[in-house]
Amino acid sequence: MKAVSIKNLYFAYNEIPVLKNCNLEVGMGDFTIIIGGNGSGKSTLIKLMLGEIKALKGSIEILGKRIEDYKSFRDIGYVPQINIVNKIAFPITCLELVSLNLYEDFGFIKIPKKEHYKKAREIIEKMGMEKYINTPVNELSGGLAQRAMICKAMINEPKLLILDEPTAGVDKDSKKHFFETVNILSTKFNISIIMVTHELKEMENLDIDMKTYEMIEGSLVKC
């Protein structure tokens, strides 16, 4: 089974094509990087993979299932761009943020219970974030806030993790640590990773076995 199989994808906004004949295959446990210029369609591709928008032509299969058939996206973890994290204006703690992703288990009253906090605590500890468990996320540095977002994505034990420019605006050392953390998820936990990034230079010095594609004129081209 492939983690992701995208075939001949076509998508346009208001009849202006963004993705044209876009193809991608990601094996289980692969670390895939997508680069590309501003406005080349990387975020659009991610939105299609998360089922937020629908392709006009072509197909997307994730973990052997057509995207249209997904009712729950628990198997697919998502880490958004850092500026989305910064927009968390209310003082939600790391523990609260991470437990939020268990909302499908919350029951009739949609608030986390003891067992949800327990699971969140375990993930936070596993990711070496225990020191910040009760820290409001909007008080964390960029790198730590993104690690908190990874904890949130990881709590449902996804088999695929999609990251959209997760380290923009993060300092150099935190970036390195962040990429190494993501690499461990791929190598030790066999989680397939798709990461959109502009930071290829920073990644090239790290010991990461990755496949890189560039979005060019609406298609992914292997680098």
Ligand X SMILES: Nc1ncnc2c1ncn2[C@@H]1O[C@H](COP(=O)(O)OP(=O)(O)OP(=O)(O)O)[C@@H](O)[C@H]1O
DSSP state of 194: E
Q: Is 39 in the site for ligand X (CB under 6 A)?
A: yes
Nearer to ligand X, 56 or 111 (CB): 56
Closest distance of CB 117 from ligand X, Å: 34
Question: Apex CA 49: angle with CA 43 and CA 52, to 5°?
Answer: 75
| Rounded least distance, CB 154 to ligand X, Å | 24
Which is nearer to ligand X, 41 or 142 (by Cβ)? 41
Name the one range near ligand X by CB under 6 A: 37-45, 88-96, 106-114, 140-148: 37-45
Q: How many CB atoms lie within 10 A of CB 179?
A: 23
Shortest Cβ distance from residue 168 to ligand X (Å)? 9
User: Which positions from 42 through 101 interact with ligand X, judged by CB under 6 A?
Assistant: 42-44
Of 34-42, 55-63, 129-137, 199-207, the segment contacting ligand X by CB under 6 A is 34-42
Give the nearest distance from C-beta 128 to ligand X in angstroms.
29
Binding residue (CB under 6 A) for ligand X from 3, 6, 9, 36: 36
Task: Give the separation between CA 49 and CA 7, rounded to whole angstroms.
Answer: 12
Q: Which of 110, 142, 129 is nearest to 120 (CA)?
A: 129
Distance CA 30, CA 159 (A): 11
Residues numbered 2 to 21 that lie near ligand X (CB under 6 A) are: 13-14, 18
What are the residues whose beta carbons fall under 8 Å from the beta carbon of 82, sequence distance 6 or more?
A: 142, 145, 146, 165, 166, 167, 168, 169, 170
Q: Cα-flanking dihedrals φ and ψ of residue 33, to 5°? A: -110, 135
Please, what is the minimum distance in Å from the beta carbon of residue 17 to ligand X? 9
